[in-house]
Amino acid sequence: MSKLVLIDGNAIVHRAFHALPPLNNKNGQVTNAVYGFFAMVLKVVNDLRPEHLIVCFDKAAPTFRKVLYVGYQSQRPKMVDELSSQFVALHEVLEKAGIKIFEVDGYEADDLIGTISKQSREDVIILSGDRDLLQLVNGRVRVLAPIVGVTKMILFDEEKVEEKYGLKTHQLADYKALVGDASDNYPGVTGIGPKTASTLIREYDTLENLYKHLVDLSPKISEKLATDAEQAVLAKKLATIEVAAPIKYVANEAKVSSIDEKSLLESFRNLGFESLITRFNLEKVQELSKIEEKNPPSSKPSTNAKAKADRSKDKEDVDQMSLI
């Protein structure tokens, strides 16, 4: 079966921006997020050999979630200029190279990825550090999540998700309905923490079924659930990825073999990405689907003390990966 890679553009750009030191091209343009984005994407193309590739982005316009709950993501700081300017540069590179992009007012990149995943009949690999996307994982859809810098990743299938979080993929939105999501600024059920939420969802499978069994629960928990019933229903709506966004996936429009590698090479030179050109041998390759990574980054520990500390922190983040 052919493979389709879906890139969560915003998540990957943000990760690259914060994971890499400042980089500038000869014109003084900040480029670290664009560099990190392509370092990850080219490695995925090299390792997985997908037939199709799509990048999905958020748009600045309010989403349907903001309409449902005005406080949704309201606490997030404004994007700094050094990052926002790189989204513009990245779009230019992608468009010139003919890499398929989806972005729609009113929807997040997650929703577009969910919709394409449902429409596609291929094996789907989603590249993202956003754990919300784990709810899409099934027998045909997996999530590839960066965990250390921009090169080391972990592949989540159904078994890996359950092993890591103790829940099945279809239960993740129900879990969020109870605990809320601090990063997106919406509450769940007051007084229900992660441990209790996991226990309840494992026992009753869905939020709806849980509310049918309030009489079977302890009076204390039952009262909390009853008090915040509307809040829990809203939280599940906010947590659930939309899989019917107004877009249509056409495989022929997203062929990796149709990407203009010469345009990509030219853009990389303008941006000063000589190391990527060398690493993936882009000067000699005839089409992007046939790139060959040379001298991939070593997985051996560095003797640099700061690198060790950073890696230790990354491992701690992996061990403590949270769904909220």
The Cβ of residue 286 has, within 10 Å, a number of other Cβ atoms equal to: 9
Task: Determine the pLDDT at residue 32.
Answer: 96
pLDDT band, residue 149 (cuts 50/70/90): low
Strands (E), 198-302: none
With a pLDDT cut of 90, the percent of the chain lying above it is 81
* Domains in the chain: boundaries: 3-164+242-290, 165-239
Please name which of 318, 285, 311 lies closest in space to residue 45, comparing C-alpha atoms. Answer: 285
Shortest CA distance to 184 belongs to which of 239, 109, 232, 143?
A: 239
- Split at pLDDT 50, 70, 90, the class of 319 is very low
**Tokens coding 58:** 């958020």
Give me the architecture of the 3-164+242-290 domain, per CATH: 3-Layer(aba) Sandwich (3.40)
Cα–Cα distances in angstroms (integers) from residue 110 to residues 9, 131, 170, in the given order: 10, 10, 16
Q: In terms of Cα–Cα distance, which of 204, 238, 252, 189 is closest to 2?
A: 252
CB within 8 A of 270, min separation 6: which ones? Answer: 25
CB burial of residue 229 (10 Å; 0-12, 13-18, 19+): middle
**What are 267's two structure tokens?**
């853009």
Is pLDDT at 302 greater than 50 in this prediction? Answer: no
Share of the chain above pLDDT 70, in %: 89
Residue 263 has pLDDT above 90, yes or no: yes
Average pLDDT, the chain: 89
Instruction: Tell me: pLDDT of 8 over 80.
Output: yes
Distance CA 177, CA 62 (A): 22
Cα 286 to chain centroid distance, Å, stands at: 30
Max mean pLDDT among 65-74, 151-160, 219-228 falls in: 219-228
pTM of the predicted protein model: 0.89
Sign of CA dihedral 183, 187, 191, 193: negative
What gap in Å lies between CA 206 and CA 175, rounded to an integer?
A: 8
Mean local confidence (pLDDT), 289-300: 63
The strand pairing partners of 154, in sequence order, are 145
Model pLDDT, residue 296: 62
Q: For residue 205, what pLDDT is reported? A: 98
Confidence of residue 311 (pLDDT cuts 50, 70, 90): very low
pLDDT range class, residue 76, cuts 50, 70, 90: confident
* Burial label, 88 (beta-carbon count in 10 A; 0-12, 13-18, 19+): exposed
* pLDDT greater than 60 at residue 78: yes
**Neighbouring residues of 50: CB distance < 8 A, sequence distance ≥ 6:** 2, 3, 4, 5, 44, 125, 256
In contact, 143 and 164? CB cutoff 8 Å:
no
Phi and psi dihedrals of 14, rounded to 5? -60, -45
- For residue 77, the model assigns a pLDDT of 87
Cβ–Cβ under 8 Å, residues 80 and 125: no
Q: The domain 165-239 belongs to what CATH superfamily? A: 5' to 3' exonuclease, C-terminal subdomain (1.10.150.20)
Select from 280, 245, 274 the least CA-distant residue to 259. 280
Residue 70: pLDDT band with limits 50, 70, 90: very high
